[in-house]
Structure 1
Amino acid sequence: MSTAMMGSDVAKAMKEHLIQEVIELKEKGIEPCLTIIRVGNREDDLAYERGAKKRMELVGIKCQVLELPENIHQAEFEEAFQKVNEDPKVHGILLFRPLPGNLDEGPVKAMIHPFKDVDCMSDINVARIFSGDEKGFAPCTAEAVMEMLDYYGIDPKGKRVTIVGRSMVVGKPLSMLLLKKHATITICHTRTEDLAGTCRNAEILVAAAGKAKLITKEMVGDGAVVVDVGIHLDESGNLCGDVDFDAVKERASYISPVPKGVGSVTTSVLANHVVRAARYLTTSC
C-alpha cells in the first residue's frame, strides 16, 4: 500500500516559515503585496483566486484583485496592467490565463517586471529557470511538485524521472528544476512510442499530460513515486487526475491524490514567490 502525499501537510509545513518571513519584512516597513489580475469571471479562475486570497491572508500577505471586463480592449488592458506593474507597493502580479480571445498576452509578458512575475510569465523568468538562475520564479505548479518531493524526503538525485507532459507550465520547467537536483530526466507526451514502457522504467513518475486517468497500473513500476498534476472531471462528475489513483496506489510507494495533492501546494508556492519578490524589489531597486 502506498503513502498518500497530501498537499495540506506540505502547505502547513511551509506556512510557519512564510509567516516568519513576512513578519521580518514588515518590521523593515515592507508589506508584501500580491495583485491578481482577472479578465472576466471564469469559474476556475475564481476558485483559484479564492484559494490564493485565503493563503495570502493566512501568512500576512496583502492580496488585491483587479477585475477587468471580458470585452476590454487591448489598449485598455495594457494600460491597466502597466499601472499595476509600475505600482511600487505591488510586489507580485498574477495574471489569470488564458485570456479571452480578443486579447493578446504578448505585450504584457514583455512589460512585466521580472521580479513581479511570480508565476513565470515573462521570457526573462523562463530563461532564468533554464539557466539555473536562483532569482528566477518557476511556474507555481512545477515548484509545488518539488516542494512535495522535498517534504516527503524523496531525493531525485540520480533517480530516473519520467515527466509525461511538455508544457511550459509544468513539464519543461519541472525538468529543469529536477535536473538541478541531479535527476536523470525523460520527457514524454501522448505521442511517445511505448509510453507505458517508458513510464514503467521511472523511479519517479510525474503525470502532467492533461488527460484524465492516462496513467494506469500497468504503466507504473513497483515502488515508484507517482506525482499527479492533472485535474479533470470524470464520467461521474468527480474530480480526478491524470493517474488512475485507485489502481495505481496498489503499486506505487508514494502517490499524490487529486484533489488534495499538488494543487493544494501551489498557493503556498505563490506566497513564497511574493515574499521573495518583495525582498528582491526592496534591495535592488
Structure 2
Amino acid sequence: MQILDGKALSDQIKIELKTKSDTLNLKGITPGLAVILVGDDAASQTYVKMKEKACDAAGVYSIIHKMPTTISQEKILETIMMINNNPNIDGVLVQLPLPKHVDTTKIIEAIDPKKDVDGFHPFNVGRLVAGLDSFVPCTPLGVMRLLAHYNIDPKGLDACVVGASNIVGKPMMNLLLNAGATVDICHIFTKDLKAHTQKADLVIVGVGKQNLITADMVKEGAIVIDIGINKTQEGRLVGDVDYENVAPKCSYITPVPGGVGPMTIAMLLENTIKAATQRL
C-alpha cells in the first residue's frame, strides 16, 4: 500500500508556479486573484486564509472582497462586473456556499469565463465535457495531477465516483472519461453503493460522510481517493473512507488531511497563472 502524498506534491507545484510567476513578472504581468467572501462562515474564512497564504507563496497577487451575509445579490454582481473589467485581475473566485437569498447560478454565470479559475461557469463545464481545453474545477483537477504524479493511468480502469456534485463528482467523471476510464457514478439515490464500489479498480469519494466507504466495499488492490472532509467529535479531521481498515486492502490511498486538500489550492494557483498567461 502506498500513500498518495498531496501535501508534498502541492509544495513542489507551488515552487514551479513561483518560477512561472517570476517569468510573467519580467514581462510586466503579476498574476492576480480576486476572492469574494460573503458572510462569516468559519470554514469559508479558513479556506480563504489558506488560499491567501498560498497565493503569496506562488507570487500571485490576491485581494479579498469581504461582504456581510445581508449583502444584496445585485451588489455581488456589481463587484463581479468590476473584477471582470479589471485588467490586472486574472481570476475570480466566489467562495461557496452563498447565503440562501443569493442565486448561486446567476453569480457563477456572471463571471467572465476567461477568469473562471474555479471552472464552474457553464462555458468551461461544456468545454470539459467536450474534451476541450478549459478551466477545470480545482479538486478533480488535483486528483488527476496526483494520479499522474504516481504514474497511475486511468485508461482502461473501472472507476467509481461516489458523489455527483457540480463541483467534484460530475467534473471528476468527465475527466476520467476523457482519460479513457470506464466510469460508474453514484449518488444519494443509488440503490446499492457497495455493488458499485466493490468492482472498481479506482474509487473516488467526496460526499462528506464519515466512514461511508468501509473495508468490505473495496476490492484487494483498489486505488482509493478520499475527497471528503469531516470533523470528529474530538475535533479531528477525517475523510469519507474508514482509512484504518480500508488502507491495508489498497494499492494506493490518499490520507485525510494531506491528500487531495492541498492539491485543490495548488490547482487554483495553477489556473490563475494559466489565466494570467492569456495577457501575453
Shorter-chain TM-score tier: over 0.9
CA distance in 1, matches of 2:186, 2:143: 17
Query: Once the 2 structures are TM-superposed, how far is the Cα of residue 182 of structure 1 from its aligned partner?
Result: 0.9
Identity %: 36
Query: Once the 2 structures are TM-superposed, how far is the Cα of residue 112 of structure 1 from its aligned partner?
Result: 1.1
Query: Once the 2 structures are TM-superposed, how far is the Cα of residue 209 of structure 1 from its aligned partner?
Result: 2.5
Residue by residue over 1:156-214, the C-alpha shift from the partner in whole angstroms, topping out at 9 and shown as x without a partner, is: 11111111111111111111111111111111123323321221111111012332210
TM-score when normalising by structure 2: 0.96
The partner residue of 1:240 within 235, 238, 241 is 238
- The residue number in structure 2 matching 1:12 is 11
Contact 1:119–1:140, Cα closer than 8 Å, also in 2: yes
Contact 2:73–2:102, Cα closer than 8 Å, also in 1: yes
TM-score when normalising by structure 1: 0.94
The partner residue of 1:226 within 217, 224, 227 is 224
Contact 1:45–1:96, Cα closer than 8 Å, also in 2: yes
The more displaced of 4-13 and 162-171 is 4-13
- The residue number in structure 1 matching 2:87 is 88
CA distance in 1, matches of 2:216, 2:36: 42
Contact 1:159–1:204, Cα closer than 8 Å, also in 2: yes
Alignment of 1:191-230 (within 5 A): 191-230=189-228
SS at match of 1:249: helix
Contact 1:190–1:209, Cα closer than 8 Å, also in 2: no
Alignment RMSD: 1.3
CA distance in 2, matches of 1:111, 1:197: 41
Query: Once the 2 structures are TM-superposed, how far is the Cα of residue 274 of structure 1 from its aligned partner?
Result: 0.3
Contact 1:231–1:258, Cα closer than 8 Å, also in 2: yes
- Corresponding position: 1:23 with 2:33: no
Contact 1:94–1:119, Cα closer than 8 Å, also in 2: yes
Q: Which runs of 5+ in 2 are unaligned?
A: none
Amino acid at match of 1:106: T
Residue by residue over 1:29-62, the C-alpha shift from the partner in whole angstroms, topping out at 9 and shown as x without a partner, is: 1110001110112111111111111111111111
Amino acid at match of 1:143: L
Amino acid at match of 1:74: Q
Contact 2:120–2:167, Cα closer than 8 Å, also in 1: no
Alignment of 1:115-154 (within 5 A): 115-134=114-133, 136-154=134-152
Q: Which runs of 5+ in 1 are unaligned?
A: none
- The residue number in structure 2 matching 1:58 is 57
The more displaced of 171-180 and 192-201 is 192-201
CA distance in 1, matches of 2:188, 2:110: 34
Residue by residue over 1:112-156, the C-alpha shift from the partner in whole angstroms, topping out at 9 and shown as x without a partner, is: 11010100221111111111111x111111111111111111111
Query: Once the 2 structures are TM-superposed, how far is the Cα of residue 103 of structure 1 from its aligned partner?
Result: 1.7
SS at match of 1:213: coil
CA distance in 2, matches of 1:47, 1:7: 19
Query: Once the 2 structures are TM-superposed, how far is the Cα of residue 66 of structure 1 from its aligned partner?
Result: 0.8
Query: Once the 2 structures are TM-superposed, how far is the Cα of residue 261 of structure 1 from its aligned partner?
Result: 1.1
Deviation above 6 Å: which 4+ runs of structure 1?
none
- The residue number in structure 1 matching 2:42 is 43
SS at match of 1:250: helix
Closer, same or farther: CA 66–149 of 1 in aligned 2, 3 Å = same
